[in-house]
């Protein structure tokens, strides 16, 4: 049990409570380890995988993973650490996201050893009377005690009654699956504790809760998020993934090792930082794409960033026009999402054509030759006439 506890506690913020966890492990029976996720976005990044990696460790130790897809609760939206109410998703959006999310989750978890449940299975059957009875297990004072609600209340920002109900719904999931353990990020602590309280009210053995830290993005400042542009998506091209990981700080690298791998941290700290970072990038790319792709991504990185050469594989874009405005070119090549963004990137010196930095947004390119367009450090396009 000591070895199991060492694995389980690695990288955790809190275990509530450790003594209860020891008692549950002492039963010598597989624990039912719950994790719930609302499919509010289709893609998973490395920040999401911190909890999934912990679930995988439990799975490897012989425990039973219950993965709940919150297709019902996604209609409300988790209020945790939100400064305003979340925009409700349509049923179609939820179904589409759930399908993609599920596919990506099994890049980490063993599909054959994971029980997947949709919480609409029980919530769709509940009557208004059932919901009202469930609501009686919490108080307004309890809800307003949580930091995000308290801040919004103080700032006179609306809090809907649905948002008050959300933690109870997540807690009720624990009742339905008889969870022994629930894992979540530190932002989920209130909801996880609500699960413990509700299980006691329903005469169930309260779940142990394990909170995991929120992973900082590649900027090393804010938590990893698509909205901050500091994320590493698990479906990004291998070269992009490798390059992003190589850009993190040495200090953050150790945290990535701790939360995203099972490597010995003492050994990692003995390695030269650049070598350790390259090994980290290779391990993560290998996890999602395989050994050959990881090796190729490393070679491409060395070629582009160390030897300052072009990568071997560059996406080719054919342009039918005889002449094209450079701003339009960046948008058509998929190097920019809008003309305004393209202009901004040029003004900031982030665009090179045939290895020469361009600073003028008003130039036109004659399509009488081939161009290699580079945006930032990792995006390349080969531009030729159609």
Residue 274: is its pLDDT beyond 80? Answer: yes
My answer on whether 64 and 167 are in the same domain is: yes
Model confidence pTM above 0.75: yes
**Is 328 a domain residue?**
yes
Banded model confidence at residue 48, pLDDT cuts 50, 70, 90? very high
Q: What pLDDT sits at residue 306?
A: 63
Write the burial class of residue 251 (CB in 10 Å: 0-12 exposed, 13-18 middle, 19+ buried).
exposed
Which secondary structure element, helix H or strand E, spans residue 210, and what is its range? strand 208-212
Residue 331: is its pLDDT beyond 60? Answer: yes
- Best mean pLDDT range from 101-110, 122-131, 349-358: 122-131
Average pLDDT of the chain to the nearest whole number = 89
Per the structure, the count of domains in the chain is: 3
Domain's final residue, options 212, 247, 275: 212
My answer on whether 297 and 323 are in the same domain is: no
**Is 59 a domain residue?**
yes
My answer on whether 289 and 355 are in the same domain is: no
Alpha-carbon distance of 77 to 37, in angstroms, equals 11
Q: What pLDDT sits at residue 153?
A: 80
Domain's final residue, options 189, 212, 235: 212
Residue 192: is its pLDDT beyond 90? Answer: yes
Domain's final residue, options 212, 241, 264: 212
Q: What pLDDT sits at residue 308?
A: 65
Q: What pLDDT sits at residue 82?
A: 55
* Contact (Cβ atoms closer than 8 angstroms) between residue 368 and residue 378: no
Q: What pLDDT sits at residue 252?
A: 94
My answer on whether 262 and 230 are in the same domain is: yes
Select the more confidently predicted residue: 377 or 9: 9
Q: What pLDDT sits at residue 33?
A: 98
| Mean pLDDT to the nearest integer, 102-128 | 92
Q: Which domain CATH number covers 268? A: 1.10.240.10
| Mean pLDDT to the nearest integer, 200-219 | 96
Residue 148: is its pLDDT beyond 90? Answer: no
**Is 99 a domain residue?**
yes
Q: What pLDDT sits at residue 309?
A: 65
Q: What pLDDT sits at residue 103?
A: 86
Helix (H, G, I), strand (E, B) or coil at 382: strand
Q: What pLDDT sits at residue 385?
A: 82
Distances (CA, A) of 226 to 88, 222, 229, 354: 19, 11, 5, 30
Q: What pLDDT sits at residue 379?
A: 86
| Mean pLDDT to the nearest integer, 273-299 | 94
Residue 41: is its pLDDT beyond 80? Answer: no
Domain span holding position 330: 315-385
């Amino acid at each position: 049990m000591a070895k199991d506890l060492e694995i389980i506690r690695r990288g955790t913020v809190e275990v509530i409570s450790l003594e209860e966890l020891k008692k549950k492990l002492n039963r010598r029976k597989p624990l039912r380890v719950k994790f719930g996720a609302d499919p509010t976005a289709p893609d998973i990044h490395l920040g999401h995988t911190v909890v999934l990696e912990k679930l995988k460790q439990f799975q490897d130790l012989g425990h039973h993973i219950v993965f709940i897809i919150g297709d019902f609760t996604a209609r409300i939206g988790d209020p945790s650490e939100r400064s305003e109410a979340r925009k409700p998703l349509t049923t179609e959006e939820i179904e589409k996201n759930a399908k993609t999310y599920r596919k990506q989750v099994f890049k980490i978890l063993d599909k054959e050893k994971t029980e997947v449940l949709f919480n609409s299975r029980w919530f769709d059957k509940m009557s208004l009377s059932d919901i009202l009875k469930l609501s009686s297990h919490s108080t307004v004072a309890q809800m307003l005690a949580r930091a995000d609600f308290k801040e919004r209340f103080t700032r006179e920002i609306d809090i809907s009654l649905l948002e008050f109900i959300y933690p109870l719904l997540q807690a009720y999931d624990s009742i339905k699956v008889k969870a022994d353990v629930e894992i979540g990020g530190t932002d989920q602590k209130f909801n996880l504790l609500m699960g413990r309280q509700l299980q006691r009210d329903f005469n169930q053995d309260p779940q142990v809760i394990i909170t995991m830290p929120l992973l900082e993005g590649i900027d090393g400042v804010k938590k990893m998020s698509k909205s901050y542009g500091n994320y590493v998506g698990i479906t990004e091209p291998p070269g992009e993934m490798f390059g992003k990981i190589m850009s993190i700080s040495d200090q953050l690298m150790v945290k990535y090792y701790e939360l995203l791998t099972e490597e010995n941290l003492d050994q990692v700290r003995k390695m030269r930082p650049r070598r350790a970072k390259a090994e980290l990038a290779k391990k993560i790319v290998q996890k999602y794409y395989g050994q050959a792709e990881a090796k190729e991504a490393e070679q491409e990185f060395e070629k582009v960033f160390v030897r300052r050469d072009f990568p071997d594989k560059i996406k080719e874009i054919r342009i039918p026009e005889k002449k094209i405005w450079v701003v339009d070119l960046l948008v058509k090549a998929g190097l920019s999402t809008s003309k305004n963004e393209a202009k901004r990137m040029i003004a900031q010196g982030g665009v090179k054509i045939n290895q020469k930095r361009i600073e003028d947004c008003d130039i036109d390119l004659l399509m009488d030759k081939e161009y290699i367009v580079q945006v930032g450090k990792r995006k390349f396009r080969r531009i030729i006439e159609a």
